[in-house]
Structures are given as C-alpha cells and as structure tokens.
Amino acid sequence: MISATRTTTISLTQRYDRTTIYLHWATAALVIVLWIIGQTIDFFPRGVARDGYRTLHIALGVMLVAVVFILLMWRIGGGRKLPNADAGLLGKAAALMYRLLYAMLVSTLSLGLFNLWQRGDMIVFVGRVPAFDPDNKWLSETVGDLHALSANWIMILAGLHAAAALFHHYILRDDVLRRMSPRG
C-alpha cells in the first residue's frame, strides 16, 4: 500500500551507521570513476598519457579493493543490520540485489587484479608489475573482456539499485533512501 504521508524524521535506529554509509558512498563513487576511466582509456594515444591514466585506474581499483574488503568485514562484524524495508517479493529482490552487487564487485576486482598481473602493466612512478603470462594474447583478451563485462554488469545493477531507492523515495514515499543518506 502506498503511504499518503511522508515521515519527516527518521530514527537513528532506522538508519545505517556512519561507517556503513561512508563506505557505501565511497564504493559508489569509486565504481563510477573507475567505469568512466575504463570506458575512456583508449581515447589516449599509447605512451605516457595512457600509462598515467591506466595507473590512475589501477590505483583507484586497488583503493576500491580495500574499501570493499573493509565494507564487507564491517557489515559481517560491526555494521548495523537493518531489516529489509519491504517484506515479501520486494524484500527478496532487495536481498538478491545486494548479493549480486557484492558478487559482481568481488568478481570485477578479482578480474582486474588478475588482468594487471597477467599483463604485467606498467605503473607510473612504481615500475612494471611482474607478468604472469604477457605473451598469451588469448588470456589477456579474455580476462580483459570479462573484467569489462563484469564492470558493465555492476553499472547495470547499481543503476537498478539507485532506481529502486528513488522509487521508494518518490513513489512509495518511505525512508529507505534516507537510511543510507550521509545527512540523515
């Protein structure tokens, strides 16, 4: 049933804790920036500019690995556990969405790290990462393609996740979006 009135305040017990909120939004920001870099890296000619841009992608990817690891450990161990906002089908869909997003994050990050290792990429100001099998073109292309596909799936799932939050906020007029808002 759609509520006709909007709650003006949300209790602190109905909100995620600050650590969870900040890790959530840091993850979202890093995913967006990394995806944009991944989509635009070929705009740069081979050489220093592309190597620097790839280094930025790698550095931010490693940062995302750390943020996702901390987020998962926090959610398992210390983060506030809130019940799904909806029971029934919407609640099951939300739980599935979280699992899919986390699975795709772990998959994309793992593929990205393997891609780095397999290719032996150059990291500006650091040097070259020792290559696992740099001459295996098939492996390089396959891992790179899977990494890109996985990243695209994250963007699709994150878009659906954001659309669901906006649906809750503007159509159902509940506090689901505000539970994850840094401002409360």
Q: Which domains does the chain have, with CATH numbers?
A: 13-180 (1.20.950.20)
101 has pLDDT over 90: yes
Mean pLDDT of all residues in the chain?
86
6 has pLDDT over 60: no
Instruction: Annotate 37-62 with b (16+ C-beta within 10 A) or e (fewer).
Output: bbeeeeeeeeeeeeeebbbebbebbe
Size (the chain), residues: 184
Q: What is the pLDDT of residue 93?
A: 86
105 has pLDDT over 90: yes
Higher pLDDT, 91 or 10: 91
Q: What is the pLDDT of residue 178?
A: 83
15 has pLDDT over 70: yes
The model's pLDDT over 47-97, given as tens digits with 9 standing for 90+, comes to: 989 989 999 999 999 999 999 999 999 988 877 666 566 677 887 888 899
